[in-house]
A and B are shown apart, each in its own frame.
Chain A
Amino acid sequence: MDMLQMKNISKSFPGTKALDSVDFYLKEREILSLLGENGAGKTTLMKVLYGMLHPDTGEIYYKGEQVHLKSPLDAINKGICMVHQHFMLVPAFTVMDNIIVGNEPKSGLFVDEKKAREEVKALINRFNFNINPDTRVEKLSVGEQQRVEILKALYRKADVIILDEPTAVLTPHEVDSLFVILRKLKEEGKSIVIITHKLRETMAIADRINVLRDGKMIETDIDPKKATIHSLSEMMVGRQVALGIKRPAKNIGDVAFKVEHLKVIEDGVAKIKGIDFSIRKGEILGIAGIEGNGQTQLLESLTGLNNPESMKLTLKGKEIKGSADVFLRSGIGHIPEDRLTMGLATEMTIKDNLILGYHKSPSLQRNGILSKKKIRDYSNRCKEDFNIKTPTIDVKAKSLSGGNQQKIVIARTFSHDPEVIIAAHPTRGVDVGAMEYIHSKLLDLRDEGKAVLLISADLDEVRSLSDRILVLYEGRIVSESMPGELSEVQLGLLMTGNRIDEEVEDEIREID
């Protein structure tokens, strides 16, 4: 029997029809993958199911009965839980406190700590979660925090668990353990929906795949065994796409950008312990590594946002020193780590965001007065050249999807003719179409003879785009290799501080 059914669900937001007569069903004991590009309506559909949004039309049947979900609380009480992409945990609370909060077992006026601990422990053991209920959440890794979120759902006796982009923040190893947990949950009779745009993972875990595109359900009964990555991505995008494009560098030139003796100490802790590297013209240098191994500090140093203990930075033979402004004007383009907190002022218009950082350039202002016409022309050009999907450049940046927001950042940086691009997670959280586009733009720029530094948590991305790969581990560069020289597993080992097997070791060049 179907666990739940959604029939003819439509939902409009001003300007868009987010969901257009969507039918959806979920069986008992299954893992369903809800695939689609960003903005396809995946999250909207699940928010309807979770009571966060109310559909304009349509009906929801849960365990055979029609339900009207007024709020998430309503959904939770019925056994539908959602694990959000951004975890909703209190960092200063313990695992147990986070799990029970809102549903505390009481004895009189007080929380029955003993009973709570027993219940939580029983849950942890039953699903082999391997987590200490008394650890504070702020001390946990991202993967462990996700497990706490799942425990929260289980504690609330969820039968349906919706996970929004669960693997976006995980390392390859953590993804594997998540999948083990999900399979275990399925065995225990739970139904699971994974919202994702990652095809490979979908193929690995899902029992059934649904594809949404532009608010319409394209297909509900795809058998992952019969599907291919290509067929799925075509369904998602609605046309042929080039995934994992490889375009080897043709003309790598002289060294353009050189970093020497970079050391960063933060709060007395050495975050970067002396690294040197250089990037040549027409080369993409990829930096692989698990987040928190010095990437942030490296980015800050290269863009003038911190004060390293020591660093000598030369761009085309000229040393660069000073504030972020100086770095930017010297031709170091920056695609920041997190577009929402660092890259965009989302309350301002697209136009305003397209000039951010370059608003003092002579082409946009004169004597401190912004040129309305020049900015308008420039912004419209960016919108065309970078395919930013918006009716006008006068809407707030927050009204765009993640992919289009990222295109603003990319358009802004690329249009100002940088000599070197520091690109951090350039395609994080963007859909396949935008990803393909951003990748080809990066390669175009490289072929124009620019130097590109690519820092990404997505190993596939680093491997397919880079002309050379460095592995960053605990603030040191532990390996340098050419693409294809090391396998994904080998890179994964290096990223986690392990050494590669002896016979393989001979084949790679070890760096000091």
Chain B
Amino acid sequence: MKSGKLINNKFLKSGSGSFTTSVVAFLLAIVVGGILIELAGFSSIATYGAIFRGSLGSSRGLVLSLSQATPLLLTGLSFAIAFRVRIINTGAEGQVYIGAMAAALVGAYVNFLPGITHVAVAVLVGMIAGGLVGLFIGFLKIKFGASEVIVGIMLNEILILITAWLSTGPLMTPGSATAQTNPILETARLGRLVPRSQLTWALVLAVIIAVYLEWMIRKTTLGYEIQVIGSNLKAAKTAGINVPKIYLLTIFISGAIAGLGGAALSLGIHYRFIEGISTGFGFAGIPVAALAMYSPAGVVVSSFLFGALRAGAMTLNRTTSIPIEFVSVVQALVVVFVAAPMLIASIKKNLMRPFRGIKNKRESLKGGDA
């Protein structure tokens, strides 16, 4: 049974390996970021000190971190779930916009829904709007083989501009100087968890969704099919799994979660749709998902880390003269180092190759095991 034990250990190692990779990547990004800050002539201690004070160092900072994390958690989940079937949902930004707009319109113009049903319907409509955009991307992919990456990016532009046009034109608040729609009714507002903060029930909703998705992937037949498709598409087809159906379902879920991210912005923070409501949250979800290795539960943690960095950046800006761009640098470094193990592995793999030839991944991976 000696051999059995060894194999088990290896299995555990490879399981936790991805987790350690994430942690190491994050720490490495902090260290390398610190070096860059020093090289630029600033104090890394002062920088990180300010970031810490503004994020984890006080209850106010903590609340700010959580509220910054909320949209990242949602767009991170959106990217992660789609990626589990190897669909790269670059359309999240557009889905955020359309979700924000749809929810804001329900919030502003539907006036017959009592109490909590109003906000519930508004959230739901925002999600469906985002989901339908996702569905459209999935449809083009399945029907015509269109690349979801390109379609997603193109749709972002279209949706951002359409919503901008709506908020400056037909739906603009009369007499307003800025591009925004009518304010939503009181009943459509997402309640706040902490008074006078931007921390709303959207966070609770997002965490529930994350937990649900993690459970769904691990324990249900749907999640099983998602895993098989992500692991070996051809085997999934051979086993009779309805791949187009799962694709559509997954990208719908992905789009709906991004749409919820938008609804959380318009119903919880701005109480209306404003032009430029999302400052790139759709794309910010990609590194969040990558750091979490595309695990929904992991996204909860990684979005909090990114949220804390953002919250810290505000304090950094307010209390020091250190450029807040360094926070973006640290965030970017996280992504670089998350991608690096694969990069290093692939460099190694290529060196192992006897000839500059094609094939055979399996063979070379076996070689790389050593």
Contact = CB atoms under 8 A, between A and B. Distances in A.
A342 interface: yes
A425 interface: no
A107 interface: no
Interface string B357-370: 11110110001011
Contacts of A47: 367
Interface string B9-22: 11100100000000
B232 A391 contact: no
A14 B1 contact: no
B85 to A, nearest CB: 13
B358 A54 contact: no
Interface string A338-367: 001111111110001001110110000100
B237 A305 contact: yes
Contacts of B228: 345, 348, 352, 356
A14 B239 contact: no
B146 interface: no
Interface in B331-347: none
Contact of A391 (B3, B14, B221): B3
Given A102-B356, A325-B242, A369-B220, A348 B231 contact: yes
Contact of A16 (B1, B3, B236): B3
B10 A88 contact: no
B238 interface: yes
Nearest to A48: B370
B60 interface: no
B367 A53 contact: yes
A369 B219 contact: yes
A52 B4 CA distance: 26
B355 interface: yes
Interface residues of B, number: 45
A200 interface: no
Interface stretch (A2-10, A392-400, A470-478): A392-400
By secondary structure, the B interface counts as helix
B36 interface: no
B211 interface: no
B242 A323 contact: yes
A324 B11 CA distance: 33
B370 A394 contact: no
Nearest to A325: B240
A88 B238 contact: no
B235 interface: yes
B7 A368 contact: no
B351 interface: yes
A368 B222 contact: yes
Interface string B230-250: 011011111111100000000
A89 B357 contact: yes
Nearest to B223: A370
Contacts of B357: 87-90, 98, 101
Nearest to B360: A86
Contacts of A391: 1, 3-5, 7-8
B225 interface: yes
Nearest to A322: B240
B238 A336 contact: yes
A392 B359 CA distance: 30
B11 A396 contact: yes
Nearest to A344: B235
Of A71, A305, A352, A356, the most chain B CB neighbours within 10 A belong to A356
Interface in A87-126: 87-91, 98, 101-102
A510 B224 CA distance: 49
Contacts of B227: 345, 348, 352
Contacts of B231: 345-348
Lowest 4 CB-CB distances: which A-B pairs, in order? A391-B4, A88-B357, A357-B239, A15-B7
7 contacts: A90-B356, A90-B357, A323-B240, A345-B235, A357-B238, A369-B219, A370-B220
Interface of B: 1, 3-11, 14, 219-222, 224-225, 227-228, 231-232, 234-242, 351-360, 362-363, 367, 369-370
Given A369-B220, A396-B14, 5 more contacts: A84-B360, A91-B358, A326-B240, A347-B232, A391-B4
